Amino acid sequence: MVSSEAKILSFRFSGMVLFRVKHTIRPMDGPNPATNGLWNCGVRFTIRDMRPKGTGKPVIGLVGGVGSGKSTVAAELGRLGCAVIDADRIAHAMLTRDDVRQEVRRRWGSDAFDPDGQVDRDALGAIAFSDPASLARLSAILHPLIRQAGQEQLARCLARAEAPAVVIDAPLLIEAGWDTLCTHLVFVESSPVDRARRVRLERGWDKAKWQVRESSQKTLDTKAGMCDYILSNTSSVSHLLDQIHGLLEKIVHASD
């Protein structure tokens, strides 16, 4: 078993970082069914470009499967004083803009609207996720607007002296390029059974709807391989909260 306090080790050749040991926030022993055996030990070598960490306020991006518990992690980090950017909330606001509503109506007609003339998010989601071309068109409409609003909010959050870090909670953080705004990426792992249960209880989704949404994103292996830290949401809430507290302390102290 590898200690959860594994440090980063960078291996260099001619001055270039080749790979490093990934942090984990909990010990592991053997294959982990939550990620199909991907994390079979407490540390993992990854070969990827290193994002510049700098010396300013940390920006923590949350990554994970649909229903993994990213919002729970964001809420706890917010309770600990971090400034939290909720990309889903920004997306809700974008769908109330007149220009966005007009474009949605032009492309998908009245089927995407409720009786009051507002965009019906469930109906629009059903349309978009049933057709890759529609999903691409919707992303082209919303993602630039959400990104711009997110960057403006990030600038305000970075100026908040009392916040030890900024947290970005975005369903498509990597797919939409928000990871480039982050100094640290955190993967929230959870078993498929637990994730399916959460989306059923919290969102009313059946298994088929959950799988359709998840299949439109990068694989869990890909996401996890891009992250610096792992939080295990496979046990009790108190266990997850303990990991979150340790994570924040580690990241904030590393930036001192």
Domain span at residue 124 reads 86-162
pLDDT grade, residue 60 (50/70/90)?
very high
Phi first, then psi, for residue 75 (nearest 5°) are: -65, -40
Q: Which of 25-34, 92-101, 189-198 shows the lowest per-residue confidence on average (mean pLDDT)?
A: 25-34
Q: What is the pLDDT of residue 256?
A: 66
Decide if pLDDT at 89 tops 90. Answer: yes
Q: What is the pLDDT of residue 23?
A: 52
Number of domains in the chain: 2
CATH code of residue 145: 3.40.50.300
Q: What is the pLDDT of residue 25?
A: 52
CB-based contact 42:32 (threshold 8 Å): no
Same domain assignment for residues 94 and 212: no
What's the predicted TM-score (pTM) here? 0.77
Same domain assignment for residues 136 and 203: no
Q: What is the Cα 120 distance to its own chain's centre? A: 24
